[in-house]
C-alpha cells in the first residue's frame, strides 16, 4: 500500500511539473508574437490632379415640340405616318377631306374670268368714248364715267384673284405636313375623325431632335457659389467658360456627344430651393427621344490636391480617420475632412493630412495608436492607376 501511494504521488507531481512547463512555453510564444512587428502597405501622399464629377438627374426635351393642329374643318381622310416615325420638314402627315375648299377654288377661278370680261368691256368703252370727247362730240363726263367703270373692273379682278389665292391656301391646308425634322408623337385621331381648328387635342406632336435639351435643377447654394466666382465677369461669360458636360443615359452608358450648359433660370423655386438649368446636346443620330430621363455629369478639374484611397480610411463617431506612420514606424490615427464628391475610389482631402505624410493602405481599422509596424511602400502610380 505504501509503495502504491508513493507511485501515485510521484505521478501527480510529474503532471504538475509538465503543466507548468507548458504554460511557460505558451506565455513565451504569446510574448514573442506580441513583440513581432507586422508589415503593412503604405503610401506617401503627394499632390495630384484629378477631376470631380457632380451629377444631376435631368429630363430630356426636343429642341422643338410642335403641336400639329388642323387649320380647317373636315374629316381625316389619310394618315401618312405612324407614331414614332422619323419625318423630314415638308413631309405629309395627314390628309383632311374638305370638299368645300375645292369648290371655293373653282368659284374663285370663275369669278376671275367674269372680272376679266368686265374689265375688257370697260376698256372698250373708254377707247370708244375718248376720241369722241377729243372732237367735242360728247362731254368729258362720259369719258370720266367710262374710266371709273374701267377702274372698278380692275378692282373687281384684283378681288377675284385675291379670293382665288385665299381659296388655294385653304385647300392647301387639307394636306398637313411636318414643319421640322423630327419624331412623330402619339396620334389620337383615326380615319374618319372630325377635326377642326378648335379641337382640343392636336393631330399629333412632332419633336425636333436634331438637338436636345437636358433640364435639371441646381441647388441654390451651389448656384450662389458659382455666381460669386469672379464678380467682374458676367453670368453669360461664366457659362461660356464652363467645360462641356456629359450625359449618362438611363441604361448607365455615357452618351457619345458632349453638351454645353446654355441658360440658368433667373428664378429660384421656393418649394425646392433650386434653379432650373438647361444644357444642349447634339442628337443627329436620334438616339435621345423627347421625354426620356438621363443624368447630367458636370466635371470640375482640381490641381495639386491630396487623394486618399477610400480603403485607407475608417469611420468612427461620424469622423473619418487615416493611420499615419511616423519616421519611427509608430502609427497614429488622424482625423481628416474630405470633399463630398469622390474621385473614383479616392477621397479628396480638405484637411488633416499633407504632402509627404505616409499612410497605411489596408487593415487600418485594426491598428491601434502607438503600434510599431514595418512599412512596405507602394508605388503611387500603381495605387492611382484606376
How do residues 54-67 score in pLDDT, each as one tens digit? Answer: 899 999 988 878 89
**Which of the residue ranges 53-57, 150-154, 175-179, 288-292 would you say has the lowest mean pLDDT?**
288-292
- Residue in the structure block whose three cell numbers are 511557460: 24
Beta strand 194-195 with 74-79 is: antiparallel
Residues of the chain with CATH 2.40.30.170: 55-61+206-301
C-alpha span between 359 and 227 (Å, rounded): 38
Provide the grid cell at 339: 470633399
Nearest CA to 331 out of 343, 339, 319, 322 is that of: 322
Check whether 209 has a pLDDT greater than 80. Answer: no
φ/ψ bin of 288: left (φ > 0), alpha (ψ from -120 to 50), beta (otherwise): beta
How do residues 241-253 score in pLDDT, each as one tens digit? Answer: 888 999 999 999 9
- pTM over 0.75, yes/no: no
Provide the grid cell at 313: 480610411
Nearest CA to 341 out of 379, 301, 375 is that of: 301
Tell me if the domain spanning 99-172 has CATH number 3.40.50.300: no
| pLDDT for the residue 15 | 45
Nearest CA to 37 out of 331, 311, 323, 312 is that of: 331
C-alpha span between 105 and 169 (Å, rounded): 9
| pLDDT for the residue 61 | 87
| pLDDT for the residue 25 | 58
Residues of the chain with CATH 2.40.420.20: 38-50+303-383
Residue 255 CB contacts under 8 Å (≥ 6 apart), including other chains? 246, 247, 248, 249, 281, 287, 288, 294
Average pLDDT over residues 162-187: 91
How do residues 119-167 score in pLDDT, each as one tens digit? Answer: 898 888 888 877 877 777 777 777 788 888 888 989 999 999 999 999 9
Find out whether 256 and 246 touch, Cβ atoms under 8 Å: no
Average pLDDT over residues 11-32: 50
Class of domain 38-50+303-383: mainly beta
Nearest CA to 356 out of 317, 385, 327, 333 is that of: 327
Q: Which letter does DSSP use for residue 283 in this model?
A: -
Nearest CA to 181 out of 307, 64, 294, 89 is that of: 89
**Which of the residue ranges 6-20, 165-179, 286-300 would you say has the lowest mean pLDDT?**
6-20
Tell which CATH classification among 3.90.700.10, 2.40.30.170, 3.40.50.720, 2.30.30.830 matches the domain 55-61+206-301: 2.40.30.170
Residues of the chain with CATH 1.10.287.470: 99-172
Question: Across-strand partners of 264?
Answer: 277
CB atoms under 10 Å from CB of 177, counted, come to 15
Amino acid at each position: 500500500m505504501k509503495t502504491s501511494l508513493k507511485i501515485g504521488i510521484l505521478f501527480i507531481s510529474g503532471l504538475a511539473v509538465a503543466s507548468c512547463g507548458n504554460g511557460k512555453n505558451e506565455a513565451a510564444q504569446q510574448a514573442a508574437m506580441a513583440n513581432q512587428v507586422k508589415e503593412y502597405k503604405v503610401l506617401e501622399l503627394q499632390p495630384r490632379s484629378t477631376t470631380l464629377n457632380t451629377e444631376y438627374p435631368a429630363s430630356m426635351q426636343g429642341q422643338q415640340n410642335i403641336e400639329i393642329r388642323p387649320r380647317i374643318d373636315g374629316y381625316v381622310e389619310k394618315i401618312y405616318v405612324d407614331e414614332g416615325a422619323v419625318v423630314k420638314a415638308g413631309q405629309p402627315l395627314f390628309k383632311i377631306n374638305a370638299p368645300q375648299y375645292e369648290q371655293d377654288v373653282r368659284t374663285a377661278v370663275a369669278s376671275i374670268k367674269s372680272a376679266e370680261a368686265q374689265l375688257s368691256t370697260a376698256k372698250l368703252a373708254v377707247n370708244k368714248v375718248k376720241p369722241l370727247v377729243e372732237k367735242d362730240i360728247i362731254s368729258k363726263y362720259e369719258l370720266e364715267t367710262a374710266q371709273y367703270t374701267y377702274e372698278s373692273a380692275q378692282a373687281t379682278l384684283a378681288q377675284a384673284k385675291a379670293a382665288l389665292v385665299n381659296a388655294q391656301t385653304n385647300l392647301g391646308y387639307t394636306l398637313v405636313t411636318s414643319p421640322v425634322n423630327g419624331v412623330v408623337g402619339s396620334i389620337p385621331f383615326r380615319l374618319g375623325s372630325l377635326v377642326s381648328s378648335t379641337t382640343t387635342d392636336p393631330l399629333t406632336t412632332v419633336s425636333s431632335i436634331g438637338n436636345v435639351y437636358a433640364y435639371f435643377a441646381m441647388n441654390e447654394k451651389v448656384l450662389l457659389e458659382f455666381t460669386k466666382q469672379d464678380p467682374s465677369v458676367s453670368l453669360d461669360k461664366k457659362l461660356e467658360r464652363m467645360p462641356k458636360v456629359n450625359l449618362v443615359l438611363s441604361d448607365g452608358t455615357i452618351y457619345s456627344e458632349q453638351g454645353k450648359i446654355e441658360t440658368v433660370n433667373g428664378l429660384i423655386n421656393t418649394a425646392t430651393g433650386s434653379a432650373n438649368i438647361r444644357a444642349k446636346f447634339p442628337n443627329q443620330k436620334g438616339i435621345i427621344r423627347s421625354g426620356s430621363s438621363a443624368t447630367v455629369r458636370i466635371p470640375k478639374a482640381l490641381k495639386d490636391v491630396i487623394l486618399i484611397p477610400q480603403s485607407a480610411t475608417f469611420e468612427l463617431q461620424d469622423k473619418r480617420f487615416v493611420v499615419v506612420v511616423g519616421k519611427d514606424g509608430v502609427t497614429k490615427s488622424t482625423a481628416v475632412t474630405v470633399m463630398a464628391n469622390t474621385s473614383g475610389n479616392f477621397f479628396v482631402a480638405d484637411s488633416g493630412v499633407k504632402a509627404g505624410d505616409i499612410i497605411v493602405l489596408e487593415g487600418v481599422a485594426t491598428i491601434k495608436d502607438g503600434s510599431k509596424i514595418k512599412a512596405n511602400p507602394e508605388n503611387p502610380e500603381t495605387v492611382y492607376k484606376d
